[in-house]
Structure 1
Amino acid sequence: MDLGITDRVALVTGGDSGIGLATARLLLAEGARVVLTDQDADALNAAVADLGAAPDRLLPVVADLTSPGDVAALVERAGAAFGAPEILVHAAGVTGAQGLFHEIDDEGWARTIEVDLLAAVRVVRAVLGPMRAAGRGRIVLLASEDGVQPYVDELPYCAAKAGVLSLVKGLSKGYGPEGVLVNAVSPAFIATPMTDAMMDKRADERGTDRDEAIRSFLDEERPLMALKRRGEAAEVAAVIGFLVSERASFVNGSNYRVDAGSVATI
Protein backbone atom coordinates (compact mmCIF):
# COMPACT_ATOMS: atom_id res chain seq x y z
CA MET A 1 0.00 0.00 0.00
CA ASP A 2 1.34 3.41 -0.95
CA LEU A 3 0.96 5.56 2.16
CA GLY A 4 1.55 8.80 0.26
CA ILE A 5 4.25 10.07 2.62
CA THR A 6 7.26 10.20 0.30
CA ASP A 7 9.61 12.99 1.42
CA ARG A 8 7.35 13.94 4.33
CA VAL A 9 9.31 14.90 7.44
CA ALA A 10 8.51 12.67 10.40
CA LEU A 11 9.64 13.13 14.00
CA VAL A 12 9.68 9.88 15.99
CA THR A 13 10.36 10.02 19.73
CA GLY A 14 11.47 7.04 21.78
CA GLY A 15 13.19 5.88 18.64
CA ASP A 16 16.09 3.86 19.99
CA SER A 17 14.10 0.62 20.30
CA GLY A 18 10.70 -1.03 20.37
CA ILE A 19 7.72 0.66 18.76
CA GLY A 20 9.59 3.88 17.96
CA LEU A 21 12.34 2.04 16.11
CA ALA A 22 9.88 -0.17 14.24
CA THR A 23 7.88 2.90 13.22
CA ALA A 24 10.99 4.68 11.96
CA ARG A 25 11.86 1.62 9.88
CA LEU A 26 8.40 1.58 8.28
CA LEU A 27 8.36 5.33 7.58
CA LEU A 28 11.80 5.19 5.98
CA ALA A 29 10.67 2.30 3.80
CA GLU A 30 7.71 4.43 2.71
CA GLY A 31 10.00 7.25 1.64
CA ALA A 32 9.69 9.64 4.57
CA ARG A 33 12.60 11.57 6.04
CA VAL A 34 12.86 10.69 9.71
CA VAL A 35 14.15 12.62 12.70
CA LEU A 36 14.77 10.03 15.41
CA THR A 37 15.18 11.02 19.03
CA ASP A 38 15.92 9.47 22.39
CA GLN A 39 17.87 10.54 25.46
CA ASP A 40 20.40 7.66 25.35
CA ALA A 41 23.07 8.59 22.79
CA ASP A 42 24.61 5.11 22.56
CA ALA A 43 21.25 3.41 22.06
CA LEU A 44 20.22 6.02 19.51
CA ASN A 45 23.44 5.54 17.53
CA ALA A 46 22.89 1.78 17.58
CA ALA A 47 19.35 2.29 16.25
CA VAL A 48 20.65 4.47 13.42
CA ALA A 49 23.21 1.83 12.49
CA ASP A 50 20.47 -0.81 12.55
CA LEU A 51 18.22 1.24 10.27
CA GLY A 52 21.06 1.84 7.82
CA ALA A 53 19.47 4.87 6.17
CA ALA A 54 21.46 7.61 4.45
CA PRO A 55 22.09 10.84 6.41
CA ASP A 56 19.82 12.75 4.07
CA ARG A 57 16.94 10.46 5.10
CA LEU A 58 17.59 9.94 8.82
CA LEU A 59 18.69 12.43 11.48
CA PRO A 60 19.37 11.28 15.06
CA VAL A 61 18.99 13.89 17.80
CA VAL A 62 19.65 13.20 21.47
CA ALA A 63 17.01 14.95 23.59
CA ASP A 64 15.45 14.75 27.03
CA LEU A 65 11.75 15.37 26.47
CA THR A 66 11.27 16.45 30.07
CA SER A 67 13.39 19.52 29.21
CA PRO A 68 11.57 22.31 27.32
CA GLY A 69 14.94 23.52 26.04
CA ASP A 70 15.80 20.11 24.61
CA VAL A 71 12.40 19.87 22.91
CA ALA A 72 12.81 23.29 21.31
CA ALA A 73 16.33 22.42 20.14
CA LEU A 74 15.10 19.09 18.76
CA VAL A 75 12.47 20.70 16.55
CA GLU A 76 14.89 23.44 15.52
CA ARG A 77 17.46 20.87 14.39
CA ALA A 78 14.80 18.92 12.51
CA GLY A 79 13.73 22.08 10.71
CA ALA A 80 17.28 23.05 9.80
CA ALA A 81 18.06 19.61 8.38
CA PHE A 82 14.83 18.52 6.70
CA GLY A 83 12.17 21.17 7.27
CA ALA A 84 9.41 21.41 9.86
CA PRO A 85 7.98 18.02 10.92
CA GLU A 86 4.76 17.17 9.11
CA ILE A 87 4.32 13.93 11.05
CA LEU A 88 4.80 13.34 14.77
CA VAL A 89 4.87 9.88 16.32
CA HIS A 90 5.37 10.20 20.05
CA ALA A 91 6.43 6.78 21.32
CA ALA A 92 8.70 7.80 24.21
CA GLY A 93 7.58 6.60 27.63
CA VAL A 94 8.40 4.66 30.76
CA THR A 95 6.57 2.19 32.99
CA GLY A 96 7.08 4.61 35.86
CA ALA A 97 6.40 4.08 39.53
CA GLN A 98 4.92 0.68 40.34
CA GLY A 99 3.31 -0.78 43.42
CA LEU A 100 -0.02 -0.49 45.16
CA PHE A 101 -1.47 3.00 45.45
CA HIS A 102 -0.56 3.45 49.12
CA GLU A 103 3.06 2.52 48.36
CA ILE A 104 3.75 5.21 45.72
CA ASP A 105 4.85 8.67 46.84
CA ASP A 106 4.46 12.05 45.15
CA GLU A 107 7.87 11.78 43.49
CA GLY A 108 6.88 8.53 41.80
CA TRP A 109 3.66 10.05 40.53
CA ALA A 110 5.32 13.25 39.37
CA ARG A 111 8.12 11.50 37.47
CA THR A 112 5.71 9.16 35.68
CA ILE A 113 3.37 11.95 34.62
CA GLU A 114 6.31 14.12 33.61
CA VAL A 115 7.58 11.50 31.17
CA ASP A 116 4.35 9.84 30.03
CA LEU A 117 2.04 12.85 29.72
CA LEU A 118 3.84 16.19 29.92
CA ALA A 119 6.51 15.14 27.42
CA ALA A 120 3.72 14.56 24.90
CA VAL A 121 2.31 18.00 25.66
CA ARG A 122 5.71 19.61 25.05
CA VAL A 123 6.45 17.84 21.78
CA VAL A 124 3.00 18.46 20.33
CA ARG A 125 3.23 22.13 21.29
CA ALA A 126 6.60 22.39 19.53
CA VAL A 127 5.45 20.94 16.20
CA LEU A 128 1.90 22.26 16.10
CA GLY A 129 2.62 25.79 14.87
CA PRO A 130 4.22 24.81 11.56
CA MET A 131 1.56 22.15 10.97
CA ARG A 132 -1.19 24.73 11.45
CA ALA A 133 0.59 27.17 9.17
CA ALA A 134 0.86 24.49 6.48
CA GLY A 135 -2.78 23.47 6.90
CA ARG A 136 -1.92 19.81 7.36
CA GLY A 137 -0.26 17.44 9.79
CA ARG A 138 -0.46 14.00 11.34
CA ILE A 139 0.07 13.38 15.04
CA VAL A 140 -0.02 9.95 16.68
CA LEU A 141 0.49 9.65 20.42
CA LEU A 142 1.18 6.26 21.98
CA ALA A 143 -1.27 5.55 24.78
CA SER A 144 -1.93 2.09 26.24
CA GLU A 145 -4.63 -0.37 27.11
CA ASP A 146 -3.95 0.87 30.66
CA GLY A 147 -5.53 4.21 29.78
CA VAL A 148 -9.00 2.64 29.71
CA GLN A 149 -8.35 -0.54 31.71
CA PRO A 150 -6.26 0.45 34.74
CA TYR A 151 -4.22 -2.04 36.73
CA VAL A 152 -3.87 -1.63 40.48
CA ASP A 153 -0.07 -1.97 40.58
CA GLU A 154 0.77 0.76 38.03
CA LEU A 155 -1.78 3.51 38.57
CA PRO A 156 0.55 6.45 37.76
CA TYR A 157 1.17 4.98 34.29
CA CYS A 158 -2.55 4.27 33.84
CA ALA A 159 -3.51 7.81 34.82
CA ALA A 160 -0.86 9.32 32.53
CA LYS A 161 -2.04 7.25 29.58
CA ALA A 162 -5.67 8.18 30.28
CA GLY A 163 -4.45 11.76 30.11
CA VAL A 164 -2.86 11.07 26.73
CA LEU A 165 -6.18 9.77 25.41
CA SER A 166 -7.99 12.87 26.65
CA LEU A 167 -5.28 15.06 25.16
CA VAL A 168 -5.65 13.36 21.79
CA LYS A 169 -9.42 13.84 21.76
CA GLY A 170 -9.14 17.50 22.70
CA LEU A 171 -6.41 18.21 20.16
CA SER A 172 -8.39 16.48 17.43
CA LYS A 173 -11.35 18.79 18.05
CA GLY A 174 -9.23 21.90 18.31
CA TYR A 175 -6.98 21.41 15.29
CA GLY A 176 -8.73 18.92 13.02
CA PRO A 177 -10.58 21.81 11.33
CA GLU A 178 -7.15 23.22 10.41
CA GLY A 179 -6.02 19.99 8.77
CA VAL A 180 -4.00 18.59 11.68
CA LEU A 181 -5.31 15.10 12.42
CA VAL A 182 -4.55 13.66 15.85
CA ASN A 183 -5.01 10.05 16.89
CA ALA A 184 -3.85 7.57 19.53
CA VAL A 185 -2.60 4.01 19.34
CA SER A 186 -3.00 1.84 22.44
CA PRO A 187 -0.84 -1.28 22.49
CA ALA A 188 -0.92 -4.06 25.04
CA PHE A 189 2.05 -6.21 26.08
CA ILE A 190 4.31 -5.66 23.09
CA ALA A 191 7.77 -7.24 22.91
CA THR A 192 9.91 -4.21 23.76
CA PRO A 193 12.79 -3.53 26.16
CA MET A 194 10.22 -2.11 28.61
CA THR A 195 8.20 -5.35 28.79
CA ASP A 196 11.42 -7.40 28.68
CA ALA A 197 12.45 -5.66 31.91
CA MET A 198 9.01 -6.30 33.42
CA MET A 199 9.22 -10.00 32.56
CA ASP A 200 12.81 -10.34 33.78
CA LYS A 201 11.75 -8.87 37.11
CA ARG A 202 8.80 -11.28 37.25
CA ALA A 203 11.09 -14.18 36.40
CA ASP A 204 13.52 -13.22 39.17
CA GLU A 205 10.72 -12.96 41.70
CA ARG A 206 9.34 -16.37 40.74
CA GLY A 207 12.64 -18.17 40.21
CA THR A 208 11.89 -18.97 36.59
CA ASP A 209 12.91 -17.79 33.11
CA ARG A 210 11.52 -15.04 30.90
CA ASP A 211 9.46 -17.39 28.70
CA GLU A 212 7.67 -18.85 31.71
CA ALA A 213 7.18 -15.36 33.14
CA ILE A 214 5.48 -14.33 29.90
CA ARG A 215 3.25 -17.40 29.91
CA SER A 216 2.17 -16.88 33.51
CA PHE A 217 1.64 -13.15 32.95
CA LEU A 218 -0.65 -13.82 30.01
CA ASP A 219 -2.64 -16.41 31.96
CA GLU A 220 -2.91 -14.46 35.21
CA GLU A 221 -2.78 -10.78 34.24
CA ARG A 222 -3.91 -10.53 30.60
CA PRO A 223 -6.39 -13.40 30.12
CA LEU A 224 -8.37 -11.59 27.42
CA MET A 225 -5.42 -11.39 25.01
CA ALA A 226 -6.90 -14.00 22.69
CA LEU A 227 -3.71 -14.58 20.69
CA LYS A 228 -1.86 -15.67 23.86
CA ARG A 229 1.43 -14.00 22.96
CA ARG A 230 3.23 -10.69 23.17
CA GLY A 231 2.68 -8.43 20.21
CA GLU A 232 5.50 -7.38 17.90
CA ALA A 233 6.59 -3.77 17.58
CA ALA A 234 6.16 -4.00 13.81
CA GLU A 235 2.49 -4.89 14.33
CA VAL A 236 1.97 -1.61 16.17
CA ALA A 237 4.05 0.33 13.64
CA ALA A 238 1.78 -0.90 10.85
CA VAL A 239 -1.21 0.82 12.47
CA ILE A 240 0.80 3.97 13.13
CA GLY A 241 1.92 4.02 9.50
CA PHE A 242 -1.69 3.95 8.36
CA LEU A 243 -2.68 6.77 10.70
CA VAL A 244 0.06 9.14 9.52
CA SER A 245 -0.66 8.38 5.88
CA GLU A 246 -2.92 9.91 3.28
CA ARG A 247 -5.02 6.76 3.56
CA ALA A 248 -6.24 8.00 6.96
CA SER A 249 -7.48 11.35 5.72
CA PHE A 250 -10.85 10.96 7.50
CA VAL A 251 -9.53 9.53 10.78
CA ASN A 252 -9.31 12.03 13.62
CA GLY A 253 -9.63 11.74 17.40
CA SER A 254 -9.58 7.94 17.34
CA ASN A 255 -7.89 5.43 19.61
CA TYR A 256 -6.69 2.33 17.79
CA ARG A 257 -6.19 -0.63 20.12
CA VAL A 258 -3.42 -3.05 19.16
CA ASP A 259 -3.98 -5.40 22.05
CA ALA A 260 -5.11 -8.87 20.89
CA GLY A 261 -8.46 -8.21 22.61
CA SER A 262 -7.01 -7.35 26.04
CA VAL A 263 -9.45 -4.51 26.75
CA ALA A 264 -12.65 -6.08 27.98
CA THR A 265 -15.15 -3.43 26.88
CA ILE A 266 -16.34 -2.37 23.45
Structure 2
Amino acid sequence: MKQITMGTNTTGIATSPLDSKKLVEFAQAVPPSSPGSEADAAAVRIEYARGSGTIGSVPPPASLKGMAKAAGELIQGKRPALLVDKLGERLAFERSGTRLYEAILAKFDAEGGFEGGPTRAELEAIRDDEIRHFAMVCRAMERLGADPTAQTPGADVIGLASSGLLSVAAEPRINLGQSLESLLVAELADNDSWRMLIDLAVAYGQDEMAAEFRIAEQHEMIHLALVRKWLSSKLALDARGQPSTTPQRAA
Protein backbone atom coordinates (compact mmCIF):
# COMPACT_ATOMS: atom_id res chain seq x y z
CA MET A 1 0.00 0.00 0.00
CA LYS A 2 1.34 3.41 -0.97
CA GLN A 3 1.71 5.46 2.21
CA ILE A 4 1.05 9.17 2.76
CA THR A 5 4.45 10.61 3.74
CA MET A 6 6.25 13.90 4.24
CA GLY A 7 8.06 14.84 1.05
CA THR A 8 9.35 17.61 -1.20
CA ASN A 9 6.00 19.31 -1.68
CA THR A 10 6.70 22.83 -2.91
CA THR A 11 3.13 23.89 -3.74
CA GLY A 12 2.77 26.15 -0.69
CA ILE A 13 4.37 29.57 -0.46
CA ALA A 14 5.72 28.80 3.03
CA THR A 15 8.50 26.76 1.40
CA SER A 16 10.18 29.99 0.31
CA PRO A 17 9.48 32.86 2.75
CA LEU A 18 11.55 35.45 0.88
CA ASP A 19 10.03 34.72 -2.52
CA SER A 20 6.53 34.50 -1.08
CA LYS A 21 6.93 37.94 0.51
CA LYS A 22 7.93 39.39 -2.88
CA LEU A 23 5.03 37.60 -4.55
CA VAL A 24 2.50 39.06 -2.13
CA GLU A 25 3.97 42.55 -2.50
CA PHE A 26 3.88 42.31 -6.29
CA ALA A 27 0.28 41.11 -6.28
CA GLN A 28 -0.73 44.06 -4.10
CA ALA A 29 1.20 46.61 -6.17
CA VAL A 30 0.28 45.51 -9.69
CA PRO A 31 -3.37 45.71 -10.78
CA PRO A 32 -5.06 42.73 -12.49
CA SER A 33 -4.31 42.31 -16.19
CA SER A 34 -7.99 42.86 -17.01
CA PRO A 35 -10.89 44.55 -15.22
CA GLY A 36 -13.58 42.52 -13.58
CA SER A 37 -14.99 41.16 -10.36
CA GLU A 38 -16.99 38.26 -8.97
CA ALA A 39 -20.14 40.13 -9.95
CA ASP A 40 -18.97 40.34 -13.56
CA ALA A 41 -18.24 36.62 -13.65
CA ALA A 42 -21.68 35.91 -12.18
CA ALA A 43 -23.30 38.13 -14.80
CA VAL A 44 -21.70 36.09 -17.59
CA ARG A 45 -22.89 32.84 -16.02
CA ILE A 46 -26.42 34.23 -15.70
CA GLU A 47 -26.39 35.32 -19.33
CA TYR A 48 -25.31 31.86 -20.48
CA ALA A 49 -27.85 30.15 -18.21
CA ARG A 50 -30.72 32.24 -19.56
CA GLY A 51 -29.67 31.94 -23.17
CA SER A 52 -28.91 28.23 -23.32
CA GLY A 53 -31.35 25.45 -24.11
CA THR A 54 -32.05 22.36 -22.04
CA ILE A 55 -29.53 19.57 -21.56
CA GLY A 56 -31.75 17.11 -23.44
CA SER A 57 -35.18 15.53 -23.57
CA VAL A 58 -36.93 12.26 -22.84
CA PRO A 59 -37.74 10.39 -26.06
CA PRO A 60 -41.35 9.32 -26.65
CA PRO A 61 -42.20 5.65 -26.06
CA ALA A 62 -41.06 3.44 -28.93
CA SER A 63 -44.08 1.12 -28.83
CA LEU A 64 -47.84 1.51 -29.05
CA LYS A 65 -48.15 -0.16 -25.65
CA GLY A 66 -45.76 2.38 -24.22
CA MET A 67 -47.69 5.23 -25.81
CA ALA A 68 -50.89 3.96 -24.20
CA LYS A 69 -49.20 3.80 -20.79
CA ALA A 70 -47.83 7.31 -21.20
CA ALA A 71 -51.22 8.65 -22.23
CA GLY A 72 -52.80 6.98 -19.22
CA GLU A 73 -50.36 8.70 -16.89
CA LEU A 74 -51.06 12.06 -18.50
CA ILE A 75 -54.79 11.58 -18.05
CA GLN A 76 -54.20 10.88 -14.36
CA GLY A 77 -52.30 14.14 -14.05
CA LYS A 78 -48.78 12.70 -13.91
CA ARG A 79 -45.90 13.43 -16.26
CA PRO A 80 -44.55 10.12 -17.57
CA ALA A 81 -41.40 11.88 -18.78
CA LEU A 82 -40.37 12.59 -15.17
CA LEU A 83 -40.38 8.93 -14.12
CA VAL A 84 -38.56 7.86 -17.29
CA ASP A 85 -35.97 10.61 -16.80
CA LYS A 86 -35.22 9.55 -13.22
CA LEU A 87 -35.01 5.91 -14.27
CA GLY A 88 -32.54 6.93 -16.96
CA GLU A 89 -30.57 8.83 -14.33
CA ARG A 90 -30.38 5.79 -12.05
CA LEU A 91 -29.40 3.61 -14.99
CA ALA A 92 -26.48 5.93 -15.80
CA PHE A 93 -25.31 6.00 -12.19
CA GLU A 94 -25.40 2.22 -11.82
CA ARG A 95 -23.36 1.94 -15.01
CA SER A 96 -20.85 4.43 -13.59
CA GLY A 97 -20.87 2.56 -10.28
CA THR A 98 -19.94 -0.66 -12.04
CA ARG A 99 -17.02 1.06 -13.76
CA LEU A 100 -16.00 2.67 -10.48
CA TYR A 101 -15.69 -0.68 -8.71
CA GLU A 102 -13.83 -2.13 -11.71
CA ALA A 103 -11.27 0.67 -11.32
CA ILE A 104 -11.00 0.02 -7.58
CA LEU A 105 -10.45 -3.67 -8.26
CA ALA A 106 -7.51 -2.75 -10.49
CA LYS A 107 -6.04 -0.71 -7.61
CA PHE A 108 -6.51 -3.68 -5.31
CA ASP A 109 -4.72 -5.99 -7.73
CA ALA A 110 -1.86 -3.50 -8.06
CA GLU A 111 -1.35 -2.87 -4.32
CA GLY A 112 -3.03 -5.60 -2.32
CA GLY A 113 -5.35 -5.00 0.58
CA PHE A 114 -4.85 -3.71 4.09
CA GLU A 115 -5.94 -4.72 7.57
CA GLY A 116 -9.65 -4.02 7.95
CA GLY A 117 -9.95 -3.05 4.28
CA PRO A 118 -11.93 -4.64 1.47
CA THR A 119 -11.19 -8.09 0.18
CA ARG A 120 -11.29 -8.72 -3.55
CA ALA A 121 -14.38 -10.88 -3.07
CA GLU A 122 -16.19 -8.01 -1.32
CA LEU A 123 -15.34 -5.55 -4.09
CA GLU A 124 -16.45 -8.05 -6.72
CA ALA A 125 -19.72 -8.70 -4.89
CA ILE A 126 -20.58 -4.99 -4.80
CA ARG A 127 -19.58 -4.61 -8.45
CA ASP A 128 -21.93 -7.47 -9.31
CA ASP A 129 -24.74 -5.84 -7.30
CA GLU A 130 -24.31 -2.67 -9.38
CA ILE A 131 -24.61 -4.74 -12.57
CA ARG A 132 -27.78 -6.38 -11.29
CA HIS A 133 -29.23 -2.99 -10.34
CA PHE A 134 -28.45 -1.74 -13.84
CA ALA A 135 -30.32 -4.69 -15.36
CA MET A 136 -33.24 -4.14 -12.95
CA VAL A 137 -33.68 -0.53 -14.04
CA CYS A 138 -33.42 -1.57 -17.70
CA ARG A 139 -36.31 -3.98 -17.24
CA ALA A 140 -38.35 -1.35 -15.40
CA MET A 141 -37.92 1.11 -18.26
CA GLU A 142 -38.84 -1.51 -20.85
CA ARG A 143 -42.04 -2.36 -18.96
CA LEU A 144 -43.01 1.29 -19.26
CA GLY A 145 -42.32 1.20 -22.99
CA ALA A 146 -39.22 3.40 -22.58
CA ASP A 147 -35.90 2.91 -24.33
CA PRO A 148 -33.15 2.22 -21.75
CA THR A 149 -30.44 3.01 -24.32
CA ALA A 150 -31.61 6.64 -24.63
CA GLN A 151 -29.64 9.26 -22.72
CA THR A 152 -32.18 11.24 -20.69
CA PRO A 153 -31.45 14.70 -19.20
CA GLY A 154 -31.02 13.20 -15.74
CA ALA A 155 -28.59 10.64 -17.16
CA ASP A 156 -26.54 13.45 -18.70
CA VAL A 157 -26.39 15.32 -15.39
CA ILE A 158 -25.45 12.32 -13.27
CA GLY A 159 -22.93 11.16 -15.85
CA LEU A 160 -21.13 14.49 -15.61
CA ALA A 161 -21.36 14.50 -11.80
CA SER A 162 -19.91 10.99 -11.49
CA SER A 163 -17.07 11.57 -13.96
CA GLY A 164 -14.94 13.06 -11.18
CA LEU A 165 -15.36 9.92 -9.07
CA LEU A 166 -14.17 7.75 -11.93
CA SER A 167 -11.20 10.07 -12.45
CA VAL A 168 -10.16 9.56 -8.82
CA ALA A 169 -10.43 5.79 -9.04
CA ALA A 170 -8.54 5.62 -12.34
CA GLU A 171 -5.67 7.98 -11.39
CA PRO A 172 -2.60 5.70 -10.92
CA ARG A 173 -0.97 7.93 -8.29
CA ILE A 174 -4.01 7.74 -6.01
CA ASN A 175 -3.72 4.65 -3.81
CA LEU A 176 -6.42 2.18 -2.86
CA GLY A 177 -7.15 3.81 0.49
CA GLN A 178 -7.49 7.26 -1.08
CA SER A 179 -9.68 5.84 -3.85
CA LEU A 180 -12.15 4.64 -1.24
CA GLU A 181 -13.15 8.29 -0.80
CA SER A 182 -14.74 8.13 -4.24
CA LEU A 183 -16.72 5.07 -3.16
CA LEU A 184 -18.00 6.91 -0.09
CA VAL A 185 -19.31 9.79 -2.21
CA ALA A 186 -20.89 7.37 -4.69
CA GLU A 187 -22.57 5.21 -2.04
CA LEU A 188 -23.95 8.22 -0.16
CA ALA A 189 -25.52 9.50 -3.37
CA ASP A 190 -26.72 6.02 -4.32
CA ASN A 191 -28.57 5.52 -1.04
CA ASP A 192 -30.47 8.82 -1.24
CA SER A 193 -31.20 8.43 -4.94
CA TRP A 194 -32.76 5.00 -4.54
CA ARG A 195 -34.96 6.32 -1.73
CA MET A 196 -36.20 9.19 -3.91
CA LEU A 197 -36.79 6.87 -6.87
CA ILE A 198 -38.80 4.50 -4.68
CA ASP A 199 -40.99 7.40 -3.50
CA LEU A 200 -41.48 8.50 -7.11
CA ALA A 201 -42.43 4.99 -8.24
CA VAL A 202 -45.01 4.78 -5.44
CA ALA A 203 -46.43 8.17 -6.45
CA TYR A 204 -46.86 6.85 -9.99
CA GLY A 205 -48.63 3.73 -8.76
CA GLN A 206 -45.71 1.48 -9.74
CA ASP A 207 -45.83 -0.70 -6.63
CA GLU A 208 -44.06 -3.69 -8.22
CA MET A 209 -41.26 -1.42 -9.38
CA ALA A 210 -40.98 0.16 -5.95
CA ALA A 211 -40.73 -3.27 -4.30
CA GLU A 212 -37.84 -4.24 -6.59
CA PHE A 213 -36.08 -0.96 -5.91
CA ARG A 214 -36.35 -1.46 -2.15
CA ILE A 215 -34.17 -4.57 -2.55
CA ALA A 216 -31.56 -2.46 -4.36
CA GLU A 217 -31.79 0.15 -1.59
CA GLN A 218 -31.06 -2.54 1.02
CA HIS A 219 -28.01 -3.61 -0.97
CA GLU A 220 -26.77 -0.02 -1.12
CA MET A 221 -27.14 0.39 2.64
CA ILE A 222 -24.83 -2.60 3.09
CA HIS A 223 -22.38 -1.16 0.56
CA LEU A 224 -22.25 2.15 2.40
CA ALA A 225 -21.65 0.47 5.76
CA LEU A 226 -18.77 -1.53 4.29
CA VAL A 227 -17.12 1.49 2.68
CA ARG A 228 -17.37 3.43 5.94
CA LYS A 229 -15.75 0.53 7.80
CA TRP A 230 -12.91 0.26 5.26
CA LEU A 231 -12.17 3.97 5.41
CA SER A 232 -12.19 3.99 9.20
CA SER A 233 -9.75 1.08 9.25
CA LYS A 234 -7.43 2.80 6.77
CA LEU A 235 -7.44 6.04 8.77
CA ALA A 236 -6.62 4.14 11.96
CA LEU A 237 -3.69 2.41 10.25
CA ASP A 238 -2.42 5.67 8.77
CA ALA A 239 -2.65 7.42 12.12
CA ARG A 240 -0.48 4.72 13.69
CA GLY A 241 1.96 4.90 10.78
CA GLN A 242 1.40 1.24 9.98
CA PRO A 243 1.80 -0.07 6.43
CA SER A 244 -0.49 -2.70 4.98
CA THR A 245 -0.19 -5.82 7.12
CA THR A 246 -2.40 -8.23 5.22
CA PRO A 247 -1.51 -8.15 1.50
CA GLN A 248 -4.30 -9.74 -0.52
CA ARG A 249 -3.19 -9.60 -4.12
CA ALA A 250 -5.02 -11.32 -6.91
CA ALA A 251 -3.68 -14.68 -7.95
Q: TM-score, normalised by structure 1?
A: 0.26
Indicate the structure with greater strand content: 1
Task: Please say which structure displays the higher CA radius of gyration.
Answer: 2
Indicate the structure with greater helix content: 2
Q: TM-score, normalised by structure 2?
A: 0.27
